[in-house]
């Protein structure tokens, strides 16, 4: 059984909110998109991605004869492939709309998605929105950022995050939905045992709240409504200058 609640705030600097999310416990689907682009195009890109993913997950929920236009990854479960395909379809939708209008040219969005079926959790991401898993005193980041900073830290083990904290390219994304016709989609899976909390968030959250702070806020607020609002409030109090979105998902094993 899953319970979930999401909060999204434009923040104290931005005039509009380019973050969008979906929380559909009946489908087991949860996702956060952080759009980018002028003329409110970021909002458009994020909503297109959320709608495309929700639509495909809904259509394919009980259809084992579904069409797989991007092939099958045999290392993933049926549901892992559903999420993978949904994100590819979202990229195609955003890319095509961006190409069709000068107002939307160059728009894009991050996406992080979670699909829970039974005890299996499929996690897919493009960009730097994240999923964290908190259980007891532990918190784990389940996604890898598609960013310049993440690439540098991965390829140079002597480098620390604080070494590039002020670098002008630290927030540059290397992979987004809508940026090109073909996109790299990373999907992983894990079994849940019960009692876990999963947090999906945009960089307006994780850019100012470190994992220990997120863990403490999730532990302090066992109610998912209070946890999501508490994380957003804390990010704003820490000076986040971006849109801020937190989607908290609690998982309990069926008895």
- pLDDT tens profile 179-212: 999 999 999 999 999 999 999 999 999 999 999 9
Q: DSSP letter string over 105-153?
A: TT-EE-EEEEEEETTEEEEEEESS-EEEEEETTEEEE-----BHHHHHH
Percent of the chain with pLDDT over 70: 89
Q: Which of 36-40, 61-65, 182-186 has the highest mean pLDDT?
A: 182-186
Is the pLDDT reported for residue 67 higher than 60? yes
121-145 tens-digit pLDDT: 999 999 999 999 999 999 999 999 9
Torsion region of 191: left, alpha or beta (phi above 0 gives left; psi -120 to 50 gives alpha): beta
Q: Taking the domains of the chain in order of start, what are their residue ranges?
A: 2-251
In the block, tokens 């961006």 appear at 98
Do the beta carbons of residue 140 and residue 110 sit within 8 Å? no
Which pair of tokens denotes residue 188?
């992983």
pLDDT of residue 165: 53
Q: What is the mean pLDDT of residues 150-169?
A: 54
pLDDT of residue 120: 97
Is the pLDDT reported for residue 169 higher than 70? no
Quick one: pLDDT band at residue 163, thresholds 50, 70, 90?
Answer: very low
Of 100 and 157, which is predicted with more confidence?
A: 100
Quick one: 128 exposed, middle or buried, by C-beta within 10 A (0-12, 13-18, 19+)? buried
pLDDT of residue 159: 53
pLDDT of residue 147: 66
Quick one: pLDDT band at residue 65, thresholds 50, 70, 90?
Answer: confident
Is the pLDDT reported for residue 162 higher than 70? no
CA distance 78 to 158: 39
Q: Superfamily for 2-251?
A: PPM-type phosphatase domain (3.60.40.10)
Alpha carbon dihedral 32, 206, 28, 217, in 10-degree steps, equals -140
73-97 tens-digit pLDDT: 999 999 999 999 999 999 999 999 9
Q: What is the mean pLDDT of residues 171-186?
A: 88
Summary mean pLDDT of the chain: 90
Is the pLDDT reported for residue 154 higher than 80? no
Percent of the chain with pLDDT over 90: 78
Do the beta carbons of residue 245 and residue 21 sit within 8 Å? yes
């Amino acid at each position: 059984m899953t319970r979930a609640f999401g909060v999204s705030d434009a923040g104290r600097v931005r005039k509009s909110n380019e973050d969008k999310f979906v929380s559909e416990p009946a489908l087991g689907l949860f996702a956060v998109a952080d759009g980018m682009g002028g003329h409110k195009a970021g909002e458009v890109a994020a909503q297109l991605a959320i709608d495309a993913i929700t639509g495909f997950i809904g259509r394919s929920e009980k259809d084992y004869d579904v069409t797989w236009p991007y092939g099958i990854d045999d290392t993933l479960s049926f549901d892992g492939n559903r999420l993978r395909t949904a994100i590819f379809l979202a990229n195609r939708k955003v890319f095509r709309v961006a190409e069709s209008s000068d107002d939307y040219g160059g728009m894009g969005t991050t996406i992080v998605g979670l699909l829970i079926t039974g005890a299996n959790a499929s996690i897919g991401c493009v960009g730097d929105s994240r999923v964290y898993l908190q259980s007891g005193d532990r918190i784990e980041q389940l996604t890898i950022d598609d960013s310049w900073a993440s690439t540098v830290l991965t390829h140079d083990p002597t480098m620390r995050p604080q070494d590039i904290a002020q670098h002008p390219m630290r927030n540059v994304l290397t992979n987004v939905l809508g940026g090109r016709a073909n996109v790299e989609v990373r999907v992983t899976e894990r079994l849940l045992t019960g009692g876990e909390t999963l947090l999906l968030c945009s960089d307006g959250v994780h850019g100012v709240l470190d994992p220990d702070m997120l863990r403490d806020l999730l532990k302090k607020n066992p109610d998912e409504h209070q946890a999501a609002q508490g994380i957003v409030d804390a990010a704003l109090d820490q000076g986040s200058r971006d849109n801020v979105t937190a989607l908290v998902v609690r998982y309990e094993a069926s008895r």
